[in-house]
Amino acid sequence: MDFNIPPILTSKQLVDKAFRRASKLDKKGNTREESTKKTNSAKLNKIAHTLEDTLKRYEKEFPSIDILPPFYYEIIDIMIGVDKLKKSIGAVNWARRRTKRILMESARNLMKKNTVEEMEKIRKQAYGRTSSILEQIDDDLAFLNECRKKLNSLPDIRSDLPTVVVAGYPNVGKSLLVSKISSGKPKVAVYPFTTKEVGIGHFTIGRHRCQLLDTPGLLDRPDEERNEIEKQAVNALESLADLILYLYDPSGTCGYPLEKQEALASELKESFPDVKIIEIDNKLDVDEVQNKRLHISALEDKNLDKLKELIKNGLKYKYEL
């Protein structure tokens, strides 16, 4: 899914936009009263339509949360909070209906008035009430604008493609490996917790396009203690993984002992009994100790062909590749 939600205006920008459009209107009548009536009525209608169109677009452009694929539902809940998002979209809906009613009622009242003063009074009152309703949803609009930025930055992940998720302790070389065996170009750095969100790369097996997901590093600790960044990794494993590529750094240059990394691997095996897990040692170039697992060097491209073969075989239990 690829979100492409355009910017959300603040309440002040919304009011300015609607009132500016209305201010350009000038209708002629046979008398000053008739001109004022026609002009003010056109202005109120213009504001109502501008707000209706803009606010309705905001409601539509956010995804229908309850029918989102599990990965996106969960990631929105982790990053934003599904209930908060629903509440703010609800507030926009409320403001749209309320401003429309006020503006339409005012336009009808205007028709019953005979003096320019009375008509001006009705127009100004409608403007004031409209502004105040929009002000009431200012926080919701600001929140939705923040959500929009987060949603637009999410990777475009498809649930119908064979998906391999790379997981492991921080700093073990997951991102470098993803950049070596797929089209993904995640950030690689010498310190742990470099990757803060799920990243994506693609590779092919024969004619088949597959996804390789890079995830933030995980520590061996209970789910309740996991932070927002770790939860994103767990979500990718839970909702998308056909195959888990579990990467170890037996050299310890990542900063974490091998026993901790092995404890996390055991925990993942328990949590995802139905998903195949391939365990790989990385950083062969710094430490050649053998642990009965395929030993690669993402840095020096060692044994990457063997790894690709393991991935291909690992996906066979689910896909005809």
Closer by beta carbon to ligand GTP, 125 or else 153: 153
Asked if 189 interacts with ligand GTP (CB under 6 A), we say yes
Contacts to Mg ion from residues 185-244, by CB under 5 A: 194-195
CA atoms within 13 A on the CB side of 123: 23
Residue 99 contact, options Mg ion, ligand GTP, none, Cβ 5-8 Å cut-off depending on partner type: none
Q: Are 40 and 122 in contact (CB under 8 A)?
A: yes
Residues of span 215-234 touching ligand GTP by CB under 6 A? 216-217
Q: How far is the CB of 275 from ligand GTP (least distance, A)?
A: 20
Per-residue contact track with ligand GTP, 127 to 166, x per CB under 6 A?
----------------------------------------
Residue 279: φ, ψ to 5°: -105, 130
For the chain, list the strands marked E by DSSP.
163-168, 199-205, 208-214, 243-248, 276-281, 294-295
Please, what is the minimum distance in Å from the beta carbon of residue 187 to ligand GTP? 7
Q: Find the helix or strand (DSSP H, E) in which 43 lies.
A: helix 32-61
Annotate 69-90 with DSSP letters as a single string: -HHHHHHHHHHT-HHHHHHHHH
Q: Give the number of other Cβ atoms within 10 Å of residue 275's Cβ.
A: 18
Nearer to ligand GTP, 53 or 305 (CB): 305
Comparison of 148 and 283: residue with beta carbon closer to ligand GTP: 283
Helix, strand, or coil here: 102? helix
The angle at the Cα of 256, spanning 231 to 217, to the nearest 5 degrees, equals: 25
Q: Which stretch binds ligand GTP (CB under 6 A): 34-42, 53-61, 131-139, 190-198?
A: 190-198
Nearer to ligand GTP, 65 or 286 (CB): 286
Q: Number of C-alpha atoms within 13 angstroms, CB side, residue 243?
A: 24
HSE toward the beta carbon, residue 15, CA cutoff 13 A: 17
| 175 contacts Mg ion (rule: CB under 5 A) | yes
Distance of closest approach, residue 284 Cβ to ligand GTP, in angstroms: 7
CB of 230 vs Mg ion, minimal distance in Å: 13
Q: Which residues in the 269-308 window bind ligand GTP by CB under 6 A?
A: 282-283, 285-286, 297-299
Counting residues that bind ligand GTP (by CB under 6 A) gives 23
By CB under 6 A, residue 321 contacts ligand GTP: no
Long-range contacts of 129-132 (CB under 8 A, 24+ apart): 129/102, 130/15, 130/18, 130/47, 130/51, 130/99, 130/102, 130/103, 131/11, 131/15
Q: Which of residues 160-179 bind ligand GTP (CB under 6 A)?
A: 170-176
Nearer to ligand GTP, 75 or 119 (CB): 75
Binding residues for ligand GTP (CB under 6 A): 170-176, 188-190, 192-195, 216-217, 282-283, 285-286, 297-299
Binding residues for Mg ion (CB under 5 A): 174-175, 194-195
